[in-house]
Amino acid sequence: METGLFLQMTFLTLLLTLPLVSKKVEHNLEVFFFVVSLAAATVGGLWSFELLKEALLHPLAVYQPGYGYVPIGITQVVLAAGLTFYYFRDKLAAKADAIARPAVLAVLIFAFGMSSSVISAIVAAAVLAELLAFAKAPHEYKARAAVYGAFAIGAGAALLPIGEPLSTIAVAKLKQGFFYLVNVLIDAVVIIVAFFAVYTYVTLKKMHKAGVEIEPYEPELREVFARAFKIFLFIFALTILGEFFKPLALIVAEFGKEVLYVFGLVSAVADNATLVAALVSPEMGTDALRSFLISLVLSGGLAIPGNVPNIVLASVLLIGFREWLKLAAPIGIAIFVLIGAYVLVLVPHPPIHPYGFN
């Protein structure tokens, strides 16, 4: 057990530090995570047909209880969005000024955040990413909108089991109804989504300058396909790494909801769906479930590997690991602490009875 824990902590440290100290690693993040995941599975003795099948399926399909794997995965969605926006690139380029307005982006982030559990985090992130790419604004301006949008989309997608794998697995393991997580999380999710929409407007309003010369975005067809392949590698790697870190999660399961909330920070570099699969059970109290899931969706926004929207937005807008962390960590940690106080102390139990709307 001690050897396994040492290995997990070593790999966790590598995943966090190497992209920060090496530009080569940072600019090839998908390949780096892919190689590390192969090494982790090998030294951890994890290789099996079932793990390989899941790692290959997760980028290409979404698991739905009662139906199995539905062949509509992040890879196809990102590719389809890229091709669609490539086809309509001239029309979108004509709207570049309007898309870049702080108020427009704030409304888009709120709308995608609150609808991501219905249209899925993948679709919401893919569409927002392409719109931001066409927006006539400097890179940092668009990068900030992307980071704040990722937080909002990641939180909103947790409400329904069709939003993202985290909520799909949670509802399946809890054996609850379709709207169960709406009851448990809705108040905290609305606060998070609304905050990042408003924060986007306030922050971008200070940066917005009319008349600044911006290089127009001209998507290349080969980049559309290359982006989809890189995302395939990323999700493949995160699936394996999530399995590798599962024993660490099981140790934490013995502690209280406060420790679970802090442990959720691991999802900044690990697959949060696997953490849910490892820790969530029907015996888990709604207060612990509430704090753990909120921790995961907030922590997932801190670094590129933490959540599907981050991966999509960073890939399309060419945001590096260090740049994402620099933009996400200050506000992300602040909100993590404040929302932690909200769900652990102020409103530890769902304001709507969790069995009231199934």
Query: Cβ contacts of residue 24 below 8 Å, gap of 6+?
Result: none
pLDDT score at 214: 67
Give pLDDT, residue 321: 93
Domain membership of residue 281 (yes or no) is yes
User: Which pLDDT belongs to residue 151?
Assistant: 97
Is the residue at 317 inside a domain? Answer: yes
Note the pLDDT of residue 237: 86
Total count of domains within the chain: 1
Rounded to the nearest 10 degrees, the angle between the axes of helix 321-341 and helix 139-156 is 40
pLDDT on residue 212:
54
CB 160 within 8 A of CB 181: yes
What local confidence, expressed as pLDDT, does residue 112 receive?
Answer: 96
Residue 256: predicted pLDDT: 80
**Low-confidence stretches of the chain (pLDDT beneath 50):** 211, 356-358
Q: Is residue 59 part of a domain?
A: yes
Question: Quick one: pLDDT at residue 164?
Answer: 83
Please check whether residue 85 lies inside any domain of the structure: yes
Tell me if 355 is assigned to some domain: no
Residue 14 lies in a domain: yes
* Helical spans, DSSP H, in 245-320: 246-252, 257-263, 272-279, 286-299, 308-317
The predicted structure's pLDDT at residue 52? 92
Structural domain includes residue 17: yes
Residue pair 257/291 in contact by the 8 Å Cβ criterion: yes
pTM: 0.87
pLDDT score, position 215 = 65
Q: What is the reported pLDDT for 209?
A: 60
Which domain covers residue 186, as residue numbers? 2-346
Q: Which residue has the tokens 């399309």?
A: 316
In a domain, 225, yes or no: yes
